[in-house]
């Protein structure tokens, strides 16, 4: 059982250290306290000088079986703790302590001499100074008394003589305590030397050897050694611990980083839609993910270490874009952009690129992280969407304008039909030459109006086209006279056609009109005159392109060396009513007419022009099928005009103006006329009047159309000839167009021609084509 804390505090306070002596675990309850009481009175409170007491303690400790006492008190002597509680005493040096310890136990004659000297002392000098003969003598005498308390009385007498009665008693009490302490230490073998004493002996090995017997010295050296080793080990362990601690911390950080890195790798490697890779500060690739492999086609092994500029297209590389991109990222902390990049196989893709600079903790640039996405599909989709929108907008616009134009042209046609018809009759009846001149003038104006409506109708695709195989090689030279007349003498027209150019499927009259429109544009673009080249070449369209479906075409082109068009004009040239010509000079309907014809024929008009570099208008027309070529010979334009006959004709039109005019024209040449303002009325007249030989009917009428009327007539009047007069393509799709059609506006001779054809054709069901005169 250990001494209570308060007791131990008291001891420690008194000695300046807590000697192991007072720490014995084996102490019987209360015994150590009693020993402490004894120590206080016999040792600490003993009035003998402290230094003397300690020297004597050390001197006598040599006779203790256990060396603990001597070691501890040498400690007190040299200043470890407070020797005997007297702080004023200077500690002894190690040398002096050694000298003290080396004094041999006195031989009997030495002792006798000492006792003699003590007994001879006349002056009582109670306690001797250290290392004096007196002290030596006294120590020798006290040694005897210590070892053999019942020693011969003269030893005790000699001491009493030298130090006096009182001091003798103090000395005997003191020595009793030393003996008690020795007993104590002898019964407590677990007492070990305090650390400060081990250190002292380590510093002074000779002291150690002196204080300890050889075996104990050996043991102690072992202990000292052990202590030293332990101390060293501890120190090392501490260092080790701190190193281990630091290592562990690093390890934890590294593990966390590794885990983080692992997760990051997993993520990066799982991503296949994005190319994620790193560059060093110079732009060389240092990492590569599966997304990058998929996107760019390079394996990791072949791309690591390469410069990332190889992904750029040549133009961008030449413009040093890769370098600028990295500089931007480094400066602004990020770069984001889109552009073309090149895969390993040389193919291009539209990329979205993000570059982030990577800096070390010191803020130095160490590289870049780069993420690339393939947006080609989106880009293409966007472009085609824009193109589609543009095309849709364009076609909607054309459609709207076409509707409008077609509507106006329809009404205009009826007016012109009436005007022309009436003028012609008036001209025949007029006798005054000046009136005839005026009527001719009016007729020319009406003709121009008619030509205009015609263009409008072609553009609006409401002009019924007479499709047939057309031989361009024959058609163009046939226009020579017309062109010369229209263009004037300063224009040179060259033609360049290859041998064996296939025929095209279109309306030959309209094609002539289209060429004339293009030629007039060319002339207007070359006020000083110049060459116009009309050429044609066969073309094959493999993939649908623009409005052209895959197939065989002939590209008929007309090229001038005129002023050309700037981009803006070129973009708008085909728009109806767009013209750059002076008011009154241009209608802006020339190109729309050509465009309308091309589209209606299943082809396309393509304009190529640059300001100051001339213009080429290409008219792409589909090649005619063989069977269509074969029917060409059927063209009935050459139906001979037979001699005039008088007929009973039923005229049907909802427009009274047209009706009256038509009736007047027919009446003028001697026919007998019935007028009906609707199909119903016509049927009623047919039922009522026998002898009607011909029906001429308008197509567009309310309630019942011309075609419906024809259908109604099939049963009761199957052989009655009918002429369908129509201003534009208002016939429903799929209509059998083999009946005679008369294009509005028509002139008297057109009408006469149609009547003659209808009446002379052997096939009563009018399997004839009526060739509309060109305008």
Residues 333-352 touching ligand ATP, rule: CB under 6 A, are none
Q: Pick one of Mg ion, ligand ATP, none as the site partner of residue 649 (Cβ within 5 to 8 A by kind).
A: none
560 binds, among ligand ATP, Mg ion, none (CB under 5 to 8 A by kind): ligand ATP
**Is residue 560 a contact point for ligand ATP (CB under 6 A)?**
yes
Binding partner at 531 among Mg ion, ligand ATP, none, C-beta below 5 to 8 Å by kind: none
Closer by beta carbon to Mg ion, 261 or else 571? 571
Any contact of residue 573 with ligand ATP (CB under 6 A)?
yes
Work out whether strand 740-743 and strand 274-280 pair parallel, antiparallel, or are unpaired.
unpaired
Query: Per-residue x/- mask for ligand ATP, residues 495 to 524, rule CB under 6 A?
Result: ----------------------x---xx--
Buried/exposed code over 287-310 (b: 16+ C-beta within 10 A; e: otherwise): bbbbbbbebbebeeeebeeeebbe
CA distances from 733 to 315, 464, 730 (A): 53, 11, 9
Taking the least distance from each CB to Mg ion, the nearer of 19 and 590 is 590
- Of the pair 163, 515, the CB lying nearest ligand ATP is at 515
Identify whether the C-beta of residue 723 lies closer than 8 Å to the C-beta of residue 744.
no
704 binds, among ligand ATP, Mg ion, none (CB under 5 to 8 A by kind): none
| Residue 565 binding ligand ATP, by CB under 6 A | yes
Interacting partner of 698 out of Mg ion, ligand ATP, none (Cβ under 5 to 8 A depending on kind): none
What does the alpha-carbon distance between residue 464 and residue 700 come to, in Å, rounded to a whole number?
14
Asked if residue 439 lies in contact with residue 427, where contact means CB atoms within 8 angstroms, the answer is yes
Tell the smallest beta-carbon distance from residue 512 to Mg ion (Å): 15
| Among ligand ATP, Mg ion, none, residue 652 binds (CB under 5-8 Å by kind) | none
Query: Does residue 559 belong to the site contacting ligand ATP (CB under 6 A)?
Result: no
Residue closer to ligand ATP by CB (options 609, 741) is 609
Q: Which is nearer to ligand ATP, 167 or 521 (CB)?
A: 521
- C-alpha span between 332 and 730 (Å, rounded): 66
Name the binder of 562 from ligand ATP, Mg ion, none, CB < 5-8 A by kind. ligand ATP
Q: Distance between CA 413 and CA 460 in Å, rounded?
A: 14
Q: How far is the CB of 524 from Mg ion (least distance, A)?
A: 7
In whole angstroms, the minimum distance from the beta carbon of 719 to ligand ATP comes to 45
Candidates 372, 413, 468, 615: give the one binding ligand ATP (CB under 6 A): 615
Provide the CA 193 distance to its chain's centre, in angstroms. Answer: 77
Residue number with CB closer to ligand ATP (565 or 623): 565
Partner that binds at residue 486, options ligand ATP, Mg ion, none, CB closer than 5 to 8 Å by kind: none
Question: Nearer Cβ to ligand ATP, position 507 or 560?
Answer: 560
Sign of CA dihedral 80, 85, 87, 91: negative
Comparing C-alpha atoms, which of 126, 108, 209 is closest to residue 168? 126
Among 525, 536, 619, 752, binds ligand ATP (CB under 6 A): 525
Q: How far is the CB of 455 from ligand ATP (least distance, A)?
A: 8
- Count the neighbouring beta carbons within 10 Å of the beta carbon of residue 729: 20
CB of 517 to ligand ATP, least distance (A): 6
d(CA 646, CA 641): 14
Q: Is residue 563 at the binding interface for ligand ATP, with CB under 6 A as the rule?
A: yes
Report the alpha-carbon distance of residue 6 to residue 14 in Å, rounded.
12
- Under 8 Å between Cβ of 712 and 737: no
Taking the C-alpha atoms of residue 770 and residue 760, their distance in angstroms, rounded to an integer, is: 13
Binding marks (x or -) toward ligand ATP, 413..442, rule CB under 6 A? ------------------------------
Task: Please say which residue, 506 or 521, places its beta carbon nearer to Mg ion.
Answer: 521
Specify the pairing of strand 740-743 against strand 722-726: parallel
Question: Which two structure tokens, joined as six digits, stand for 118?
Answer: 């003590």
Specify burial of residue 38 (Cβ count, 10 A radius: 0-12, 13-18, 19+): middle
Indicate which of Mg ion, ligand ATP, none lies near residue 693 (CB less than 5 to 8 Å, by partner kind): none
Site for Mg ion, rule CB under 5 A: 521, 590
579, interface contact from Mg ion, ligand ATP, none, CB < 5-8 Å by kind: ligand ATP
Q: Measured from the CB atom, is 569 or 678 closer to ligand ATP?
A: 569
Q: Least Å distance between CB 678 and ligand ATP? A: 37
Report residue 728 as tokens.
């534009």
Cβ distance 354 to 336 under 8 Å? yes
- What contacts 61, CB < 8 A, 6 or more positions away? 67, 69, 70, 73, 178, 182
Burial tier of 58 (Cβ tally within 10 Å: 0-12, 13-18, 19+): buried
DSSP-assigned states of every residue in 567-611: HHHHHHTTSTT---SPTTT--S-HHHHHHHHHHHTT-EEEEEE-T
Among 20, 309, 328, 569, binds ligand ATP (CB under 6 A): 569
> What is the x/- site pattern for ligand ATP, positions 643-682, by CB under 6 A?
----------------------------------------
Q: Are 28 and 184 in contact (CB under 8 A)?
A: no
Q: What is the DSSP string of 22-45?
A: GG-TTPPTTHHHHHHHHHIIIIIS
Residue 466 C-beta: closest distance to ligand ATP, Å? 23
Cα–Cα separations (whole angstroms), residue 308 to 123, 297, 345, 375: 111, 14, 16, 19
Closer residue to ligand ATP, CB minimum distance, 216 or 575: 575
Helix spans in 204-213 (H): 205-211
Phi-psi region of 602 (alpha: psi -120 to 50; beta: other; left: phi over 0): left
Which residue's CB is nearer to ligand ATP, number 488 or number 550? Answer: 488
Q: Indicate which of Mg ion, ligand ATP, none lies near residue 603 (CB less than 5 to 8 Å, by partner kind).
A: none
The footprint of ligand ATP on this chain (CB under 6 A) covers a number of residues equal to: 23
Here's the x/- map for ligand ATP, 578-607, by CB under 6 A: it reads as xxxx----xxxxxxx---------------
Which listed range, 317-325, 380-388, 496-504, 556-564, lies at the site for ligand ATP (CB under 6 A)?
A: 556-564
Q: How far is the CB of 353 from Mg ion (least distance, A)?
A: 49
Q: Please choose, out of 547-555, 572-580, 680-688, 701-709, the segment that lies near ligand ATP by the rule CB under 6 A.
A: 572-580
Q: If contact means CB under 5 to 8 A according to the sort of partner, which of Mg ion, ligand ATP, none does residue 580 touch? A: ligand ATP
Which residues contribute to the site for ligand ATP (CB under 6 A)? 517, 521-522, 525, 560, 562-565, 569, 573, 578-581, 586-592, 615
């Amino acid at each position: 059982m250990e001494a209570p804390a308060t007791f131990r505090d008291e001891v420690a306070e008194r000695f300046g250290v807590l000697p192991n002596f007072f720490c014995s675990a084996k102490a019987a309850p209360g015994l150590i306290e009693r020993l402490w009481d004894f120590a206080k009175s016999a040792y600490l409170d003993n009035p003998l000088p402290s230094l003397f007491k300690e020297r004597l303690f050390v001197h006598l400790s040599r006779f203790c079986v256990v060396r603990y006492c001597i070691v501890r008190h040498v400690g007190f002597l040299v200043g470890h703790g407070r020797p005997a509680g007297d702080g004023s005493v200077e500690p002894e040096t190690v040398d002096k302590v050694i000298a003290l310890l080396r004094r041999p136990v006195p031989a009997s004659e030495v002792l006798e001499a000492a006792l003699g000297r003590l007994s001879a002392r006349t002056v009582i000098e109670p306690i001797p100074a250290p290392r004096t003969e007196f002290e030596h003598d006294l120590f020798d005498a006290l040694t005897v008394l210590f070892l053999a308390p019942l020693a011969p009385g003269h030893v005790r007498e000699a001491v009493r003589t030298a130090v006096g009665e009182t001091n003798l008693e103090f000395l005997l009490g003191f020595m009793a305590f030393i003996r008690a302490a020795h007993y104590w230490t002898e019964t407590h073998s677990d007492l070990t030397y305090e650390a400060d004493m081990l250190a002292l002996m380590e510093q002074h090995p000779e002291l150690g050897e002196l204080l300890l017997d050889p075996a104990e010295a050996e043991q102690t050296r072992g202990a000292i050694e052990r202590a030293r080793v332990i101390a060293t080990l501890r120190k090392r362990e501490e260092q080790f611990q701190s190193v281990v601690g630091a290592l562990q911390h690093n390890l934890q950080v590294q593990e966390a980083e590794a885990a983080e890195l692992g997760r990051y790798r997993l993520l990066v490697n799982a991503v296949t839609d994005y190319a994620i890779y790193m560059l060093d500060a110079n732009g060389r690739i240092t990492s590569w993910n599966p997304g990058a492999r998929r996107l760019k086609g390079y394996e990791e092994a072949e791309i690591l270490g390469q410069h990332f500029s190889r992904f750029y297209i040549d133009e961008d590389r030449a413009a040093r874009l890769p370098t600028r991109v990295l500089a931007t990222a480094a400066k602004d902390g990020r770069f984001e952009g889109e552009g073309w990049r090149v895969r390993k196989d040389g193919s291009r893709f539209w990329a979205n690129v993000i570059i982030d600079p990577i800096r070390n903790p010191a803020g130095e640039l160490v590289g870049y992280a780069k993420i690339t996405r393939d947006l080609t599909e989106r880009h293409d989709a966007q472009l085609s969407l824009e193109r589609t929108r543009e095309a849709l907008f364009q076609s909607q616009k054309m459609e709207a304008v076409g509707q409008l134009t077609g509507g106006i042209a329809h009404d205009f046609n009826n007016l012109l039909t009436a005007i022309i018809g009436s003028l012609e009759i008036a001209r025949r009846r007029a006798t005054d030459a000046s009136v005839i001149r005026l009527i001719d003038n009016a007729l020319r104006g009406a003709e121009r109006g008619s030509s205009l409506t015609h263009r409008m109708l072609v553009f609006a695709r409401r002009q019924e086209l007479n499709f047939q195989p057309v031989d361009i090689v024959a058609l163009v030279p046939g226009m020579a006279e017309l062109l010369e007349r229209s263009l004037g003498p300063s224009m040179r027209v060259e033609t360049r056609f290859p041998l064996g150019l296939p025929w095209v499927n279109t309306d030959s009259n309209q094609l002539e009109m289209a060429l004339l429109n293009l030629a007039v544009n060319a002339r207007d673009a070359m006020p000083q005159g110049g060459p116009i080249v009309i050429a044609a070449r066969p073309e094959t369209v493999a993939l649908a392109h623009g409005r052209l479906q895959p197939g065989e075409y002939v590209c008929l082109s007309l090229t001038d060396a005129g002023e050309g068009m700037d981009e803006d004009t070129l973009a708008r040239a085909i728009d109806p009513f767009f013209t750059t010509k002076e008011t009154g000079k241009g209608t802006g309907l020339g190109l729309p007419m050509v465009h309308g014809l091309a589209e209606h024929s299943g082809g396309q008009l393509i304009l190529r022009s640059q300001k100051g570099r001339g213009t080429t208008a290409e008219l792409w027309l589909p090649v005619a099928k063989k069977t269509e070529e074969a029917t060409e010979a059927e063209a009935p334009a050459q139906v001979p005009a037979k001699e005039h006959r008088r007929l009973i004709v039923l005229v049907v039109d909802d427009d009274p103006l047209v009706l009256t005019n038509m009736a007047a024209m027919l009446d003028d040449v001697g026919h007998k006329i019935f007028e009906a303002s609707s199909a119903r009325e016509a049927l009623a007249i047919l039922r009522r009047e026998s002898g009607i030989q011909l029906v001429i009917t308008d197509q567009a009428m309310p309630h019942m159309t011309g075609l419906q009327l024809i259908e109604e007539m099939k049963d009761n009047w199957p052989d009655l000839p009918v002429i369908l007069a129509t201003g534009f393509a208002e016939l429903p799709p799929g209509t059998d167009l083999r009946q005679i059609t008369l294009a509005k506006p028509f002139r008297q001779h057109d009408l006469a021609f149609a009547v003659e054809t209808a009446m002379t054709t052997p096939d009563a069901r009018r399997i004839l084509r009526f060739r509309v005169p060109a305008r």
